[in-house]
Amino acid sequence: MNKRKLKDKIMLGVISLLAIISAIPILMIIINIYAEGLKYVNLSFLINFPPPPIGGKVGGIGPALVGSLILMSLALVIGGCIGFFTGLYLSEFSHTRLAQYAQLFLQIMVEFPTIIIGLFAYSILVAPLKRFNAFAGAFALSIVIIPYIALNVREAYKSIPHSLKEAAFSLGISHSKVYLKVLLSTARRGVLTALLIGMAKAAGETAPLLFTILGATFLYFEGLDQPINAIPLLIYNFASSPYERWHQVAWGASAVLLSIILAIFIISRLVIKEVRM
């Protein structure tokens, strides 16, 4: 009896230790990036153009930050709309063959290498238009986030008790009202989380942007048909340069990017809490 209890305790200890260990890398990354990067971040860092490698002003990540925000919101508008309605369809018409196939495809898409999605956007939106453009980047990002949003929205609608759906339908109101008014208010924390996860995903992706937006140094935004920059792309470019100052900008940009993503996750946690209470 005693031996078994001891075994149980040891096992529990080992598993807890492993759980702690698996969280260590994330903490290390966060601490490391903030320790290295936070000291360069201030208001002018968020606004200014990137600096030349040597000489001139200290500079900042203005174009990349503006570009990232534009790309994120555009991707969220496109991917959010498509993803939301796909998720709704998958949940409420799950008996149809189309829904079954769609779900299968979405599950494959989650695992898709994002660089391939970037190449696809290049071949249909960059090469034919003869220019790198912001829209192609947003398009690629929205394809990346659609499966995440759709599958999470599906879960959110699936979790609504059947009795509630029946009650809503029994009122005799139209389908659209049932899904978008009655049921959405119940599923809204799940739907919001789905959108926020999509947004965080769009903020951090580099590969879909490599072939689509080119990047921009001395311009913020000149239209959706023109090149634009993004924070992950800037980090990728500056971190591989030999110049100390560009490394500093890359560290600072990493801290900013991490803050954006952490902020999104904290908001999504708060959303869940608020609804629970």
Would you tell me which residues interact with other proteins (CB under 8 A)?
Answer: 49-56, 96, 98, 124-132, 214-219, 222, 226-227, 237, 240-244
Smaller CB distance to other proteins: residue 200 or 214?
Answer: 214
User: What φ, ψ does residue 228 adopt, rounded to 5°?
Assistant: -150, 165
Nearer to other proteins, 84 or 132 (CB): 132
Give, rounded to a whole angstrom, the gap between the first and last alpha carbons of the chain: 43
Closest approach, Cβ 223 to other proteins, in A, equals 10
Nearest distance, CB of residue 92 and other proteins, angstroms: 13
Query: Least Å distance between CB 36 and other proteins?
Result: 18
Looking at beta carbons only, is 94 or 226 nearer to other proteins?
226
Distance CA 86, CA 196 (A): 17
Q: Smallest gap, in angstroms, from Cβ of residue 213 to other proteins?
A: 9
- Rounded least distance, CB 190 to other proteins, Å: 25
- One-letter identity of residue 171: L
Of 11 and 81, CB closest to other proteins: 81
Smaller CB separation from other proteins, 94 or 237: 237
Closer to other proteins at the Cβ: 116 or 127?
127
Q: In terms of CB distance, is 44 or 96 closer to other proteins? A: 96
Q: For the CB of residue 46, give the shortest distance to other proteins in the complex, in Å.
A: 19
Residue 98 CB, shortest distance to other proteins, in Å, is 6
Q: Tokens 């018409």 appear where?
A: 93
Q: Which residues have C-beta within 8 Å of that of residue 248, sequence separation ≥ 6?
A: 40
| DSSP letters for the chain | -HHHHHHHHHHHHHHHHHHHHHHHHHHHHHHHHHHHHGGG-SHHHHHSPPPPSSSS-----HHHHHHHHHHHHHHHHHHHHHHHHHHHHHHHTTTSHHHHHHHHHHHHHHTS-HHHHHHHHIIIIITTTTS--HHHHHHHHHHHHHHHHHHHHHHHHHTS-HHHHHHHHHTT--HHHIIIIIIHHHHHHHHHHHHHHHHHHHHH--HHHHTTTB--SS-S---TTS-B--HHHHHHHHHTSS-HHHHHHHHHHHHHHHHHHHHHHHHHHHHHHHHH-
Nearer to other proteins among residue 88 and residue 197 (C-beta): 88
Min CB(197)–other proteins separation in Å: 26
